[in-house]
Amino acid sequence: MDPCAVFSPDYISARQRFRDAAAALGWTLEAHPIGAAGPDGEELTIDVGYSSAGDPQKTLVVSSGMHGIEGFFGSAVQAALLEHWAATTPPSTRCVFLHALNPFGFSWLRRCDENNVDLNRNFLLPGEPFEGTAPAYARFDPFLNPRCPPSPWEPFTLKAMLLIALYGMPMLRQAVAAGQYGYPLGLFLEERSHRVCRNC
């Protein structure tokens, strides 16, 4: 097989190929709409395909597209695997495939979702509450999320340099990159895709 042949040209084609390949194996399919549209107005969904064979306590989970545009690669891997199994022998292990965890980013060729959130920043384990914020984030919130538009003379660079001098680049970087659950207007807040994935 030509390795390039498993890559789809866009999100819609990738989703259809995934669904067709899972259906060919007799897998159960689910589609979870995210309430946002693609570039041509198409509905965006997180698609789930799962087999009935095997012990549920020993399940192989394969996901794709958490970082949106990276979904092209993950979807290709999933399609190649499903199509290979259809042509040979499916595994006896129970499988759950999650296609396009961030369908908005996949469709619009972005890393972030429809709310400009990087979904990888705040996934929690089952049972963990969506609450709490690292102390460093609270310290940097006024800088990261100003309450009014900056003036033409906004000394952004000077403020950033001062914060780095006071707290160090590692602390500032961690505050910017980590997920948080206490500031609704802040960076990397919990998103719908997280709730869908936790219930899949």
The structural domains of the chain, ordered by start, are 3-116 (3.40.630.10), 135-196 (no CATH)
Q: What is the pLDDT of residues 138-192, one digit of tens each?
A: 888 888 888 888 788 888 889 889 989 999 999 888 877 776 777 777 777 666 5
State the average pLDDT for the chain: 85
Does the pLDDT of residue 127 top 60, yes or no?
yes
Residue 16 tokens, joined:
């259809």
Strands annotated E in the chain: 28-37, 43-50, 59-63, 94-99
Distance CA 60, CA 118 (A): 25
CA distance 157 to 136: 19
Give the phi and the psi of residue 136 in degrees, each rounded to 5.
Answer: -65, -35
What is the average pLDDT across 5-18? 94
> Which tokens in the block code for residue 165?
């001098």
Distance CA 45, CA 17 (A): 14
Q: Among 6-10, 30-34, 59-63, 89-93, where is mean pLDDT lowest?
A: 89-93
What average pLDDT does this structure show over 52-81?
A: 90
Q: Tokens 């390795």 sit at which residue?
A: 3
- pLDDT grade for 26, boundaries at 50, 70 and 90: very high
CB of 11 closer than 8 Å to CB of 85: no
The share of the chain scoring above pLDDT 90, in percent, equals 45
